[in-house]
Amino acid sequence: MGELVFVGLGLYDDRDISLRGLEEVKSADDVFLELYTNFLPGFSLERFAEICGKVPRAVSRTELEENGGKIILDAAKQGKAVLLVPGDPFVATTHVALRLEAAKHGVKTRIIHGSSIVSAVSGISGLHNYKFGRSVTIPFQENYSELPYEVISQNQALGLHTLCFLDINVEQRRFLSVSEALKMLLKIEEKKKKGVVTCDAIAIGIARAGSPNQTVKADYVRVLLKHDFGAPPYSIIFPGKLHFMEAEALMYFAGAPADIRRLVE
C-alpha cells in the first residue's frame, strides 16, 4: 500500500512551496493539483513543472468532492501520490474528507504545511494572532447568509478580531470584492441594528496577501467602500479591542486613521 501526501503551495506563486514540499513532489509517482479552494495570483503551471520536473494533473471540485477523490486514492494505493493544495492543506476543511477516506482504505497520509492567509494576516496587519476569534467566509450574494455578521458580533463582544474570507469561484473567475462584502454586511446591519458593521466602524481590507504587491488598508468602512484594492484574492479583518502596539502597527503599516487609538483597551 502506498501513501498520500498533502503539500501546501503557499499564498502567491509557484515558488512559495517549501523545499520539503518540493522534494515530496519530485519523488512522487503521481502528482495532482487543485486550484479551486483558493487563488494563487502568480502561479504558473509551466514554471512549476520546470522546477519539479513533473506536470501535475489538475483535479476539479467534482473529482475531489463529488467523486470522493477516487482518482487520487487509486494512485495512492499503488504508490506515492501527492496532492498540491493552495495555502496550507487543511485550513480549507474540504480536504479532510479525502484524508479520512484514505485512512479508511489503509492508505498512509502525511502533510507538508505551507504559508496560509490565517497566519499571514497577523504579519501583514500587525495584529496579534492570539487575539483572533472565529473566522468566517462571506459568500456571494446568491448564497446570502447572516452568519458572517453574527460571527463578527460574537467576536467583538469578546474583544476579539474577526478574519473574513471573501468568497471565490476560481473556475468562473469570480471573486467577491471588499466593497461588495461590506455592502452586504451593511444591509444586514440595517436589519439587525446591533452597531456591529456601520459606516463609522474600522475594518482592514487585504488583497493579494503574500505577493510582492500586496495591499493592506485600515480605515472606516465608508472609506474602504471606495478604496481600490486592485486584483484578488481579498479578505477583511474587523478588529476587536486593540493593544496599543496593534494600533500603532495599523497606523504605520496599514494607513489607519489616528483615532483608531479609541479601540485600545
Q: Give me 127's grid cell.
A: 495584529
Q: Which of 78, 112, 146 is the last residue of a domain?
A: 112
Assign 196 to helix, strand or coil: coil
Do 97 and 136 lie in a common domain?
no
Distance of CA 101 to the CA centre of its chain: 24
Do 242 and 163 lie in a common domain?
yes
Do 149 and 254 lie in a common domain?
yes
Assign 52 to helix, strand or coil: helix
With cell 467534482, the residue in question is: 62
Q: CA–CA separation, 121 vs 131, rounded Å?
A: 12
Do 124 and 52 lie in a common domain?
no
State pLDDT tens for residues 75-88: 999 999 999 999 99
Domain count along the chain: 2
pTM above 0.95, yes or no: no
Do 107 and 158 lie in a common domain?
no
Do the strands 162-166 and 168-169 form a parallel or antiparallel pair, or are they unpaired? unpaired
Do 208 and 242 lie in a common domain?
yes
Q: What is the CA radius of gyration of the chain?
A: 20
State pLDDT tens for residues 6-24: 999 999 999 999 999 999 9
State pLDDT tens for residues 176-235: 999 999 999 999 999 999 999 999 999 999 999 999 999 999 999 999 999 999 999 999
Q: Which of 95, 112, 129 is the last residue of a domain?
A: 112
Q: Give me 52's grid cell.
A: 519539479
Boundaries of domain holding 72: 3-112
Do 108 and 132 lie in a common domain?
no
Do 105 and 125 lie in a common domain?
no
Do 134 and 257 lie in a common domain?
yes
Do 185 and 165 lie in a common domain?
yes
Q: Which of 64, 92, 112 is the last residue of a domain?
A: 112
Do 104 and 222 lie in a common domain?
no
Q: CA–CA separation, 3 vs 18, rounded Å?
A: 20
Domain containing 56 — which CATH number? 3.40.1010.10
Residue whose C-alpha is closest to residue 41's, from 206, 162, 179, 157: 206
State pLDDT tens for residues 221-251: 999 999 999 999 999 999 999 999 999 999 9
